[in-house]
Amino acid sequence: MINEEDSTGRVLYEDGDHKFIWLGTDSKNRKSEIQTMQYLIIDHNRGILLDPGGIHIFSRVVAAVSRYISIDNIDTIFYSHQDPDVSSGIALWLGITKAKVYISSLWIRFLPHFGIVDVTRVIPIEDNGMKMSLKSGAVLEFIPAHFMHSPGQFNLYDTRSRILFTGDIGAAVFTAGDDVLFVDDFTKHIPLIADFHKRYMASNSVVRKWCDRVRSLNPEMIAPQHGAVYKGASVKAFLDWLSQLKCGIDLMN
Ligand SMILES: [Fe+2]
Ligand SMILES: [Fe+2]
């Protein structure tokens, strides 16, 4: 259960010029739709939104963002991939911000199907990823995570906070009202993540390469778009579990 005081968000990292914020939940009002999590990086009073989500949560996310920063200061929107729970609100976000949008080059031509989208404000991320320097000197790395699950998918690693935003990787499916912010006991968390990763992730060879790359980053937290945030021991436990998982085409037979 998410504490009442956390329902409108929680700062996961903070120093003088840089914050990484989880933007809260609407778990009480959720019906059939999957729970999603949105994040906001504030650097030198400029905002970067990570997977701000679909149309029906737009007003809640705008309200949550506004608790921390003026919407006018949102410069950048990062989309991990093209799914509706990630990016179907794009036309609304382009309407109320002047932000530039970053997404895999694979999905640029598909975004206009979510509404009136000025694609000159959408910047393609090429397959090898890229780095973005922020005013404070912090660096964001767009880490390739292709085929996990989308064929054009990126994670965002905030090298200052050492938080890795992973999109659908690490996603858990909670029963309504059972949401927690942090993974406490990883063994108890496995039943909530196993079916999703077995079906949505392409194969063990793909996930193993990703786990090796992520271990080299040595993140403090892994923050997915669904479920709960991994920190401390649960980061290592999740990577150990995922790197051994048979999934996707491994299970076709
Ligand atoms: Fe997805
Ligand atoms: Fe998702």
What's the pLDDT tens digit per position in 61-70?
999 999 999 9
pLDDT > 80? residue 165: yes
Q: For 114-157, what is the HEC assignment?
A: HCCCCHHHEEEECCCCEEEECCCCCEEEEEECCCECCCCCEEEE
Instruction: Give the pLDDT confidence score for residue 209 in this predicted structure.
Output: 98
Query: Residue 85 C-alpha to ligand 2 middle, in angstroms?
Result: 6
CB atoms within 10 A of CB 252: 6
For residues 221 and 94, give the distance between their C-alpha atoms in angstroms, rounded to a whole number. 29
35 in the Ramachandran plot: left (φ > 0), alpha (ψ -120 to 50) or beta? beta
Q: Give the ligand with the smallest distance to the CA of 149.
A: 1
127 CB contacts (<8 Å, ≥6 apart)? 104, 105, 144, 146, 152
Place of tokens 């959720």: 30
Query: Residue 160 C-alpha to ligand 1 middle, in angstroms?
Result: 26
Averaged pLDDT of the chain? 94
pLDDT > 70? residue 199: yes
Q: Give the ligand with the smallest distance to the CA of 37.
A: 2
For residues 51 and 62, give the distance between their C-alpha atoms in angstroms, rounded to a whole number. 13
Q: What percent of the chain has pLDDT over 90?
A: 87
> Does the pTM exceed 0.85?
yes
Q: What is the mean pLDDT of residues 209-227?
A: 98
Q: What stretches of 36-185 show up as alpha helix (H) in DSSP? A: 58-66, 84-87, 90-96
E-strand ranges in 23-99 read 39-43, 46-50, 74-78
CB atoms within 10 A of CB 175: 7
Instruction: Give the pLDDT confidence score for residue 25 in this predicted structure.
Output: 82
Query: Residue 57 C-alpha to ligand 2 middle, in angstroms?
Result: 14
Q: Give the ligand with the smallest distance to the CA of 85.
A: 2
pLDDT > 70? residue 29: no
Phi/psi for 201 (5° steps) reads -85, 140
What's the pLDDT tens digit per position in 74-119?
999 999 999 999 999 999 999 999 999 999 999 999 999 999 878 8
Q: Which residues of 2-34 are buried (b: 16+ CB within 10 A; e: fewer)?
A: beeeeeebbebbeeeebbbbbbbbbeeebeeee
Apex 142 CA angle, 139 and 145, nearest 5: 150
Q: Give the ligand with the smallest distance to the CA of 225.
A: 2
Phi/psi for 180 (5° steps) reads -130, 160
Binned at pLDDT 50, 70 and 90, residue 158 comes out as: very high
For residues 147 and 210, give the distance between their C-alpha atoms in angstroms, rounded to a whole number. 10
Instruction: Give the pLDDT confidence score for residue 28 in this predicted structure.
Output: 66
Query: Residue 226 C-alpha to ligand 1 middle, in angstroms?
Result: 10
Query: Residue 15 C-alpha to ligand 2 middle, in angstroms?
Result: 29
Query: Residue 31 C-alpha to ligand 1 middle, in angstroms?
Result: 19
Answer positive or negative: Cα dihedral of 172, 142, 103, 53.
positive
Binned at pLDDT 50, 70 and 90, residue 3 comes out as: confident
Query: Residue 152 C-alpha to ligand 2 middle, in angstroms?
Result: 14
Query: Residue 150 C-alpha to ligand 1 middle, in angstroms?
Result: 7
